[in-house]
Amino acid sequence: MGHHPELLILDEPAASLDPKGRRSLLRSLMEQTNGKDNTVLFSTHITSDLERVASHVAILREGVVDYFGELDELKDSVKRLRINAASMLPPEFTVPMALRTFVDGTSAVAAVASIDEEMLEQLKEKWNASVVIEDLNLEEIFLELHDE
């Protein structure tokens, strides 16, 4: 890093480091790249590290890029909905744009790729339900996108 390359490719650079070493490495990367015109390609399974340093992420599925874009945009779009209805929800209950839905009696949990106010209002009215929106971290988003 001392030569300040325009492109730095790191494959699992923090995999064998303890938490203190990982934070030190990430801090050094940020200091070396802050305000400079360069790119760091950082491949890792430690999603919390990416959340600290990444502006963009690529998520692979079976060796193919499944998603590429801004990290903040991804986190703003993928959410978890907790739905509590006044009466039993049918087993075939679905939520528009759902990646996954789990139904248990009067409640349901759905991970959605995007939400809008109209969809939320429709859920509330149709099922006489309360809907709580939860933010997800990158690891939770990865699991929701790859849940089979």
2 in a domain, yes or no? no
43 in a domain, yes or no? yes
Q: Number of structural domains, the chain?
A: 2
87 in a domain, yes or no? yes
Q: Are strands 98-104 and 129-135 parallel, antiparallel or unpaired?
A: unpaired
Same domain, 49 and 91: no
Same domain, 79 and 120: yes
**pLDDT single digits (tens) 13-45:** 888 899 899 889 888 888 877 767 788 888 888
Same domain, 28 and 89: no
- Within the chain, residue ranges assigned H as helices are 19-33, 47-53, 71-77, 117-127, 138-146
Q: Which domain holds residue 142?
A: 75-146
31 in a domain, yes or no? yes
15 in a domain, yes or no? yes
28 in a domain, yes or no? yes
Q: Do residues 95 and 110 touch, judged by C-beta distance below 8 A?
A: yes
For residue 2, pLDDT over 70 is answered with no
107 in a domain, yes or no? yes
70 in a domain, yes or no? no
Same domain, 89 and 140: yes
CATH code of the domain in which 124 resides: 3.30.70
**DSSP letter string, 66-93:** EEEEEHHHHHHH-EEEEEEESSPPPTT-
**pLDDT single digits (tens) 81-138:** 999 999 999 989 999 889 999 999 999 999 999 988 999 999 999 999 999 999 999 9
